[in-house]
Amino acid sequence: MSRIGKKPVELPSGVSASVSGQTVEVKGPKGAQTFTATDDVTIAVEDNTITVTPRGNSKRARQQWGMSRTVVANMVYGVQNTFKKELEIQGVGYRAQVQGSTLKLNLGYSHDVNFDIPQGITVTTPKPTEIIVEGHNAQEVGQVAANIRDWRRPEPYKGKGIRYKGEYIFAKEGKKK
């Protein structure tokens, strides 16, 4: 049984949802989002709550049950608030700055890395070693943050690279003579 899937998603005031077939559309003050669920789950809207139930008892139906409920809950949150991921850059000479719709990264390569910021996502750099990714879609925010981090992942010897704020990198011991 999915403990996450059992919980209904409450619709706060100012947010409305509609279901047509397997497609859920959530509208709120910050915009609208849609999600098309698989045929393994049933989605229903009743009295300011959205419920997700599995169709059958197969492993895939149970997997889709919790995942679909989480996606719907993130949509309800996203049409009211913004999701945020914070990254920090560590390393001598490693910097980041936003120029228009491009994030310019100096990461020790022979060239600067120009990362195009997708629409619907806001990237800011309050400090040259800090990157903040914000948006209304949880999946897109996480994916953009992961793509930025992939340009220079933290290495285990000195800890240089791009890491999530608060992420702990297990340090290895260097070579011995």
| C-alpha 172 chain-centroid distance | 29
Domains of the chain as residue ranges with CATH: 3-78 (3.90.930.12), 83-164 (3.90.930.12)
Q: Quickly tell me which residue has 């220079």 as its tokens.
A: 152
Which residues touch 113 (CB under 8 Å, ≥6 apart)?
104, 105, 106, 107, 151
- Is residue 176's pLDDT more than 90? no
| Residue 157 confidence (pLDDT) | 92
Distance CA 57, CA 5 (A): 13
Element (H, E) at 124: strand 121-124
- Is residue 2's pLDDT more than 70? no
Confidence of residue 4 (pLDDT cuts 50, 70, 90): confident
Task: List the structure tokens of 29.
Answer: 């003050």
Average pLDDT of 81-94? Answer: 94
Which residues touch 97 (CB under 8 Å, ≥6 apart)?
103, 104, 125, 128
- Is residue 1's pLDDT more than 70? no
CA angle 167, 171, 173 (to 5 degrees): 175
Q: What angle do the packed helices 138-149 and 59-78 form, to 10 degrees?
A: 90
Confidence of residue 177 (pLDDT cuts 50, 70, 90): confident
pTM: 0.87
Confidence of residue 175 (pLDDT cuts 50, 70, 90): confident
Taking only the tens place, the pLDDT of each residue in 89-137 is 998 999 999 999 999 999 999 999 999 999 999 999 999 999 999 999 9
